[in-house]
């Protein structure tokens, strides 16, 4: 029997044996490792137990860790555990995952613990208070906020205040006001919302022979209850989702849990609908937008097994599944799985680790797998299951390259006559078209025609992006914004500032002029805020309330719009500038994804790529639909220099308040750089974003042969060159961006 939260007063220490048992406790702070604590006689802590311990003058929550105490603190200075909390302990596989991520990414384990612990989920449940509509409300006039709040509260369905306030954006006073006026009554909310159990016997579609063969392999992998990774590859629309839903069905029949990671949860409304159609009920979802209450309830439901299927974003990785039987990573090539701030880790790779720690099979899904995954298939570490064709006779879209050197748009325009003609024809047929440009705002650069001045961010090495509707210029790196100036900030010439280049806002302006009849929907992360707005946009498109969709990368992925037959890519070369290691690979993946939105049903699709370099291998691969040859060529280019995936990379990003401070640290690191067989250090060099949020940045890149372990090298290297003052060194193992 686990003791309940019994607080043992400090003097109880005296009762403990001073030379008695000690345990390591990991705390959610960036210390190098766990600290030892003495165990009072009344307690019997086991690894994973969540405990209260003294730390300096405070009490903190920690987790009893595994392994031997380190004994570096003498018995006389050792402090005692205060209590063991009466909540489920942290599972061993999650403790191992924390250790693994900490070691791999060179992050203090306590910092990883913070991410895994979700302290909120462990706090005792407050009494859940909610509100519902009064049965016989008085007839009174309602202000707009009051109407809004009532609209969010259908009769008979109580909801929590936090939840209501978050959704409606009204102030807490509105609820109080409505309660005082007798329109709302307080209620106790049910403590656990039901997580309905998905039914694997619910009928699914009849699979094609290719799909059936693929599903059979995945089912066998799930039934084997062993770790192993399978790549499920197939062009967009080939039925990959349908096939892996079969693997989920098998896992459910075995009574085990499933985790599905998706790159952007905002894209999942259609995904959730499909899941619901297949299994009768929706799965549990996990993402950063959940209310604290839903978060806590979901966390616990996963922990007790009450939630058999979870679909989530990166952090779902740390949920406490007691019986994980399958891990699926959809769109495995997506760079959104890489967390670039704080703890720098790749959720796809860590999900594979999680699957291995749980002895569960793992399925990576993509139409355009990453070169890393392809290499793992080549060496036989991963299996590959392939769906060659689009489902139901839908053909791959026809791809056309529009050479902007030969058929440029009219002056001041961005859509070439050929593309305009295609869009016009599409709209005349009553079909839908999409314009894709991966850039928010009106124009990426504002230039003074009088003096040539370019309006820059004061905090970053970046131009300010014009957002014309909001009448401001904004930095897309730090968020700094200024009202759009009338005069040049440099030479004071009036009305001399000119917008250079397009963003989606400018393309929308042009489209309104060119296609005045078309009903246009703009989808960018700043116009479509959150999953609800995305779901509503998707519904409007499916319902054919929209003729022309104009969007950034949020339109690129996952969506299935049967009436959309034309995709126009405004600037296909956009991702190729900058020239980092993966620029070509990423551009092919993104443009293939965007292209995949066209012609997914009976009507054939067409894709027009506007480019200045039609001969570029990326454009040729897309034109001929031959991604395989492209990837082989990429591989052949990376192999000789030991570039990933044939070698290893780790980046050190030095940042400091002053350029001098950053330079000095970067030079010191350069001098102490590791060397040896198969080890190269490139740099230091100014980062492309040489100043970010006011901090000066330098980069070094460690490149090694594949058989060299980079973590010990990095650890020794960093230990040699201590940081001081404002200087920071961030470590990015397996970097995918080089900014």
The site for ligand ADP (CB under 6 A) is made up of 205-208, 211, 234, 236-242, 391, 560
What are the residues facing 310 on neighbouring strands? 259, 284
Contact 185, 178 (CB under 8 A): no
- Minimum CB separation of residue 557 from ligand ADP in Å reads 10
Which one of ligand ADP, Zn ion, none is in contact with 240 (Cβ closer than 5 to 8 A by kind)? Answer: ligand ADP
Residue with smaller CB distance to ligand ADP, 346 or 597 = 597
Sheet with 398-403: strands ordered across: 398-403, 606-611, 564-569, 432-436, 548-551, 520-523
- Minimum CB separation of residue 98 from Zn ion in Å reads 34
Residues 6+ apart with CB under 8 A from 130: 158, 159, 160, 161, 163, 186, 187, 188, 189
Which one of Zn ion, ligand ADP, none is in contact with 239 (Cβ closer than 5 to 8 A by kind)? Answer: ligand ADP
- Minimum CB separation of residue 478 from Zn ion in Å reads 3
Task: Give the Cα separation of 32 and 550 in Å (integer).
Answer: 49
As given in the structure block, the two tokens for residue 397 are 């879209």
Residue with smaller CB distance to ligand ADP, 39 or 607 = 607
Residues 6+ apart with CB under 8 A from 638: 371, 581, 644, 645, 646
Residue with smaller CB distance to ligand ADP, 62 or 239 = 239
Which one of ligand ADP, Zn ion, none is in contact with 4 (Cβ closer than 5 to 8 A by kind)? Answer: none
- Minimum CB separation of residue 224 from ligand ADP in Å reads 24
- Minimum CB separation of residue 182 from Zn ion in Å reads 51
Angle at 150 between CA 148 and CA 155, to 5 degrees: 145
Residues 221-250 that bind Zn ion (CB under 5 A): none
- Minimum CB separation of residue 105 from ligand ADP in Å reads 31
User: Containing H/E element for 186?
Assistant: strand 184-188
Residue with smaller CB distance to Zn ion, 107 or 484 = 484
Exposed / middle / buried, residue 578 (Cβ in 10 Å: 0-12, 13-18, 19+): exposed
Which one of ligand ADP, Zn ion, none is in contact with 560 (Cβ closer than 5 to 8 A by kind)? Answer: ligand ADP
Which one of Zn ion, ligand ADP, none is in contact with 333 (Cβ closer than 5 to 8 A by kind)? Answer: none
- Minimum CB separation of residue 691 from Zn ion in Å reads 8
Strands (E) across 440-541 are located at 445-448, 465-467, 472-474, 481-483, 497-500, 520-523
Q: What's the distance, Cα to Cα, between the start and end of the chain in Å?
A: 53
Which one of Zn ion, ligand ADP, none is in contact with 241 (Cβ closer than 5 to 8 A by kind)? Answer: ligand ADP
Residues 452-491 that bind Zn ion (CB under 5 A): 457, 459-460, 475, 477-478, 480
- Minimum CB separation of residue 368 from ligand ADP in Å reads 11
As given in the structure block, the two tokens for residue 491 are 């030479």
Residue with smaller CB distance to Zn ion, 621 or 692 = 692
**Residue from 323, 313, 355 nearest 257 by CA:** 323
Is the Cα torsion angle 83, 89, 92, 98 positive or negative in sign? negative
3-class SS string, 705-716: ECCCCHHHHHHH
Contact 567, 423 (CB under 8 A): no
Which one of ligand ADP, Zn ion, none is in contact with 208 (Cβ closer than 5 to 8 A by kind)? Answer: ligand ADP
Residue with smaller CB distance to ligand ADP, 257 or 593 = 593
In whole angstroms, what separates CA 365 from the centre of its chain? 16
Residue with smaller CB distance to Zn ion, 279 or 463 = 463
Which one of ligand ADP, Zn ion, none is in contact with 237 (Cβ closer than 5 to 8 A by kind)? Answer: ligand ADP
Task: Give the Cα separation of 292 and 126 in Å (integer).
Answer: 11
Residue with smaller CB distance to ligand ADP, 83 or 241 = 241
Residue with smaller CB distance to ligand ADP, 55 or 207 = 207
Which one of Zn ion, ligand ADP, none is in contact with 225 (Cβ closer than 5 to 8 A by kind)? Answer: none
Which one of ligand ADP, Zn ion, none is in contact with 606 (Cβ closer than 5 to 8 A by kind)? Answer: none
Contact 666, 654 (CB under 8 A): yes
Residue with smaller CB distance to ligand ADP, 150 or 258 = 258
Contact 83, 8 (CB under 8 A): yes
Residue with smaller CB distance to ligand ADP, 318 or 559 = 559
- Minimum CB separation of residue 362 from ligand ADP in Å reads 17
As given in the structure block, the two tokens for residue 126 are 């407050």
Asked if the bond preceding 645 is cis, omega within 30° of 0, the reply is yes
- Minimum CB separation of residue 138 from Zn ion in Å reads 52
Residues 560-599 that bind Zn ion (CB under 5 A): none
Residue with smaller CB distance to ligand ADP, 130 or 234 = 234
- Minimum CB separation of residue 725 from ligand ADP in Å reads 51
Contact 143, 181 (CB under 8 A): no
- Minimum CB separation of residue 475 from Zn ion in Å reads 3
Residue with smaller CB distance to ligand ADP, 297 or 328 = 328
- Minimum CB separation of residue 623 from ligand ADP in Å reads 21
Task: Give the Cα separation of 206 and 532 in Å (integer).
Answer: 31
Residue with smaller CB distance to ligand ADP, 34 or 234 = 234
Which one of Zn ion, ligand ADP, none is in contact with 205 (Cβ closer than 5 to 8 A by kind)? Answer: ligand ADP
Exposed / middle / buried, residue 469 (Cβ in 10 Å: 0-12, 13-18, 19+): middle
Which one of Zn ion, ligand ADP, none is in contact with 501 (Cβ closer than 5 to 8 A by kind)? Answer: none
- Minimum CB separation of residue 239 from ligand ADP in Å reads 3
x/- string (CB under 5 A) for Zn ion, residues 417-456?
----------------------------------------
Which one of Zn ion, ligand ADP, none is in contact with 356 (Cβ closer than 5 to 8 A by kind)? Answer: none
- Minimum CB separation of residue 379 from Zn ion in Å reads 42
In whole angstroms, what separates CA 55 from the centre of its chain? 34
As given in the structure block, the two tokens for residue 566 are 């034309």
Residue with smaller CB distance to ligand ADP, 47 or 562 = 562
Question: CA dihedral defined by 594, 367, 238, 632, rounded to 10 degrees?
Answer: 120
Residues 652-671 that bind Zn ion (CB under 5 A): none
Residues 6+ apart with CB under 8 A from 543: none
**Residue from 394, 441, 321 nearest 601 by CA:** 394
Which one of ligand ADP, Zn ion, none is in contact with 457 (Cβ closer than 5 to 8 A by kind)? Answer: Zn ion
Total residues contacting Zn ion by CB under 5 A comes to 7
Residue with smaller CB distance to ligand ADP, 245 or 499 = 245
- Minimum CB separation of residue 393 from ligand ADP in Å reads 11
In whole angstroms, what separates CA 111 from the centre of its chain? 19
Residues 6+ apart with CB under 8 A from 328: 244, 247, 248, 258, 259, 260, 261, 362, 363, 365
Which one of ligand ADP, Zn ion, none is in contact with 207 (Cβ closer than 5 to 8 A by kind)? Answer: ligand ADP
Which one of ligand ADP, Zn ion, none is in contact with 354 (Cβ closer than 5 to 8 A by kind)? Answer: none
Binding positions for Zn ion, rule: CB under 5 A: 457, 459-460, 475, 477-478, 480
């Amino acid at each position: 029997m686990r003791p309940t939260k019994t607080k043992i007063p400090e003097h109880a220490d005296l009762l403990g044996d001073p030379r008695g048992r000690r345990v390591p406790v990991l705390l959610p702070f960036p210390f190098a490792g766990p600290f030892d604590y003495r165990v009072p006689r009344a307690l019997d802590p086991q690894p994973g137990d969540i405990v209260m311990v003294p730390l300096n003058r405070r009490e903190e929550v920690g987790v009893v860790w595994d392994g031997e105490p380190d004994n570096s603190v003498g018995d006389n200075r050792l402090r005692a555990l205060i209590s063991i909390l009466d909540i489920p302990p942290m599972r061993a596989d999650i403790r191992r995952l924390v250790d693994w991520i900490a070691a791999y990414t060179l992050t203090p384990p306590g910092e990883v613990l913070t991410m895994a612990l979700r302290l909120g989920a462990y706090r005792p449940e407050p009494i859940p208070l909610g509100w519902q509509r009064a049965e016989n409300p008085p007839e009174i006039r309602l202000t707009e906020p009051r109407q809004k709040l009532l609209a969010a509260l259908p009769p008979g369905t109580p909801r929590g205040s936090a939840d209501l306030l978050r959704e409606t954006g009204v102030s807490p006073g509105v609820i109080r006001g409505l309660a005082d006026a007798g329109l709302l009554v307080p209620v106790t909310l049910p403590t656990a919302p039901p997580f309905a159990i998905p039914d694997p016997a619910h009928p699914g579609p009849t699979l094609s022979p290719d799909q059936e063969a693929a599903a059979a392999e995945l089912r066998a992998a799930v039934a084997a209850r062993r770790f192993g990774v399978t790549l499920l590859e197939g062009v967009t629309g080939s039925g990959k989702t349908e096939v892996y839903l079969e693997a989920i069905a098998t896992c459910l029949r075995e009574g085990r849990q499933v985790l599905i990671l998706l790159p952007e949860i905002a894209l999942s409304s259609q995904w959730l609908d499909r899941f619901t159609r297949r299994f009768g009920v929706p799965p549990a979802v996990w993402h950063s937008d959940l209310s604290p209450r839903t978060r806590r309830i979901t966390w616990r439901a996963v922990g007790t097994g009450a939630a058999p299927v979870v679909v989530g974003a990166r952090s779902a990785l740390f949920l406490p599944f007691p019986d994980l039987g399958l891990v699926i990573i959809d769109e495995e090539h997506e760079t959104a799985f890489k967390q670039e701030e704080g703890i720098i880790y790749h959720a796809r790779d860590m999900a594979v680790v999680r699957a291995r720690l749980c002895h569960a099979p793992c399925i990576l899904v993509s139409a355009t797998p990453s070169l890393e995954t392809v290499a793992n298939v080549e060496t036989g570490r991963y299996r590959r299951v392939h769906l060659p064709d689009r489902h139901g006779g839908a053909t791959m879209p026809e791809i056309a390259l529009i050479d902007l050197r030969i058929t440029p748009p009219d002056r001041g325009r961005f859509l070439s006559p050929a593309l305009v003609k295609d869009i016009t024809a599409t709209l005349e047929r009553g079909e839908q078209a999409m314009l894709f440009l991966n850039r928010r705002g009106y124009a990426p650069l504002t230039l003074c025609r009088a003096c040539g001045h370019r309006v820059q961010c004061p905090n970053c090495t970046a131009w300010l992006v014009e957002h014309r509707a909001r009448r401001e210029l904004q930095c897309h790196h730090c968020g700094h914004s200024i009202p759009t100036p009338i005069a040049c900030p440099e030479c004071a010439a009036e009305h001399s500032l000119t917008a250079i280049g397009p963003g989606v806002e400018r393309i929308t302006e042009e489209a309104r002029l060119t296609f005045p009849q078309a009903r246009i929907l703009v989808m960018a992360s700043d116009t479509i805020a959150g999953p609800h707005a995305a779901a509503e946009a998707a519904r409007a498109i499916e319902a054919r309330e929209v003729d022309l969709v104009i969007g950034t990368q949020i339109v690129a992925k996952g969506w299935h719009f049967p009436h959309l037959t034309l995709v126009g890519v405004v600037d296909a070369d956009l991702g190729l500038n900058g020239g980092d290691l993966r620029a070509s690979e990423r551009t092919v993946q993104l443009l293939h994804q965007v292209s995949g939105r066209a012609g997914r049903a009976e009507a054939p699709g067409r894709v027009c790529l506007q480019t200045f370099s039609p001969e570029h291998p990326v454009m040729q691969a897309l034109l001929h639909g031959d991604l395989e040859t492209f990837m082989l060529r990429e591989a052949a280019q990376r192999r000789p220099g030991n570039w990933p995936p044939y070698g290893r990379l780790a980046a050190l990003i030095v940042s400091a308040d002053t350029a001098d401070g950053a330079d000095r640290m970067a030079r010191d690191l350069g001098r102490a750089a590791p060397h040896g067989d198969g080890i190269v250090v490139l740099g230091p060099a100014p980062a492309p974003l040489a100043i970010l949020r006011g901090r000066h940045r330098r980069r070094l890149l460690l490149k090694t042969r594949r058989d060299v372990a980079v973590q010990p090298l990095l650890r020794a290297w960093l230990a040699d060159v201590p940081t001081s003052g404002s200087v920071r060194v961030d470590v990015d193992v397996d970097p995918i961006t080089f900014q």
